[in-house]
Amino acid sequence: MKQHQYESKPLDSKGHVHWTDEENEVWSKLVARQLDCINGKACREYFEGLELLDLPKNRAPQIPVINRVLAETTGWRLEPVPALIDFDHFFALLASKRFPVATFLRTPKDFDYLQEPDFFHEIFGHCAMLTHPAFASFTQHYGKLGVKASKAERVYLARLYWFTVEFGLIQSGDGLSIYGGGILSSPAETEYSFNSNEPIRKKLDVIDVMRTPYRIDILQPIYFYLNTLDELYELEKLDLLECVSRAKALGLHAPLYPQKIA
């Protein structure tokens, strides 16, 4: 496994992280830039969740404060983790309504792009959506599926998570909007997914999604949209492991991106 370049910071007895002045400045600049970027692009439910969280703009927030809001809305809480956790741990946390958060912030040299999910990505990208009942319910359901899935099945489930929780869009009567945390925490991905004519945007079909390869280090060539977040409840009603079996039988779609050169 590739060595992670960052390490999570320890928490004190109150569950607080002692962020440095530089880290607080990084948080402040990231939030200011991204709030400007997502204006008019993030979905209404995201902004409602962001208002509930009331994240500080001049310093990195503390986990216990966010946990109080999540507990009051959907019963979730954040779980501080090392920078890397295995899939068994990841799925078990989601199944028990605990969202893993690595307690490190990118350095200024990685300000524009960081492949690893840092504290800003997890908090700014995901926590507002975790206050929404349909999103929170689907995320827990996904964790429960992952707990009982085989290693091979998890690969297909990962694509469903990628194209919903991380890179999901909504196409409704009000137009296009964003709910995926991987988009909402990235200025380049926000602009590209919302305004560019280059990517494909398709109505989400579970089998289709599970057959769609992706790369984590590029702007996504394809996005899948829901018409409403409540459609996540409908996904829970499907036998998603049976969907995995059907996707495996049909085979993967051809990648829409260039292959990496070893």
Annotated binding site for Fe cation: 121, 126, 166
Q: What is the mean pLDDT of residues 2-17?
A: 86
Task: Say what percent of the chain tops pLDDT 90.
Answer: 91
Q: What is the mean pLDDT of residues 27-52?
A: 98
Q: What pLDDT is recorded for position 4?
A: 62
Q: Say if residue 133's pLDDT is above 60.
A: yes
Provide the mean pLDDT of the chain.
95
Q: State how far the alpha carbon of 90 is from the alpha carbons of 52, 86, 100, 183, 240, in Å.
A: 26, 6, 7, 21, 18
Q: What is the mean pLDDT of residues 110-119?
A: 86
Q: Say if residue 106's pLDDT is above 50.
A: yes
Q: What pLDDT is recorded for position 82?
A: 87
Annotated binding site: 121, 126, 166
132: Cβ–Cβ under 8 A, 6 or more apart, which residues? 45, 48, 49, 74, 229
Task: Please report which confidence band the pLDDT of residue 260 belongs to, taking 50, 70 and 90 as the band edges.
Answer: low
> What is the residue extent of each domain of the chain?
21-250
DSSP of 111-141: SS--SS--HHIIIIIIITGGGSHHHHHHHHH
Identify the CATH number of the domain defined by range 21-250: 1.10.800.10
Q: Report pLDDT digits (tens) over 62-74.
A: 999 999 999 999 9
Q: Report pLDDT digits (tens) over 171-228.
A: 999 999 999 999 999 999 999 999 999 999 999 999 999 999 999 999 999 999 999 9
Q: What is the mean pLDDT of residues 97-114?
A: 92
Q: What pLDDT is recorded for position 2?
A: 43
